[in-house]
Every structure is written in C-alpha cells, then in structure tokens.
Amino acid sequence: MNGVVKLTNDKRDGTRYSRKIGRMGNSLGVSLPKSLAAKLNISQGDEIEFIENDRGEVLLRKARQGKLPDNVRPEVLEAFFDVFEEDEGILEDLRDR
C-alpha cells in the first residue's frame, strides 16, 4: 500500500497511531506523526483524502494533484488510478520480466 494508510479498529493490522482531536477554527483537526507523514510523502500544505470502503475502513492518502486535459473526465482518471493501485504488484511483476 504505497502512499496509502489504512485506519482501522482491527488490532491485527500494522502500526497503530493515536492522536487527540483538536479544534482548528470552526473545524476539527488532528496532527500526523512524522513517520506517517513520511510514509504518505506529505508535508505542510499538501492535501490528503479520506476514503471509506464498504467494510467501514478508512484509507488516508495524499490527494492527487494536476490539471486534466479538457477531454478527460475526473471520474475516469480516478478509476484508472484505483485499478492501477489494486494491480500494482502485477504491473511491477510485468515490468521485471
């Protein structure tokens, strides 16, 4: 899961991080441990996204940046990225052949 961190209540899943929620203006916020920020390749000013899956798990990842060409719909590009991330191991295996 390169660049994606799964936040879950399952104690069997990887490294656990604990942080208190604080107030940030009219919103709530949380700080990220330095090691987690490094795993996500994020720094101050970067945008992150939270994705909830059908099992109630929340994925945290750096938001994708960039301007799309006029003829590419954002949902098509997002679907491409999702497939690429799911099949990353297969693609790496093909590259190494």
The 10s digit of each residue's pLDDT in 48-78 is 988 888 888 888 888 877 677 778 777 887 7
pLDDT at 2 over 70: no
Predicted confidence (pLDDT) per residue in 20-56, tens digit: 899 988 999 888 899 888 988 888 888 898 888 888 8
- Strand ranges for 9-57 from DSSP E: 22-24, 27-29, 48-52
Q: pLDDT band at residue 1, thresholds of 50, 70 and 90?
A: very low
Count the helices and strands in the chain (H runs, E runs).
Answer: 3, 5
Residue-level pLDDT at 54 = 86
pTM of the model: 0.50
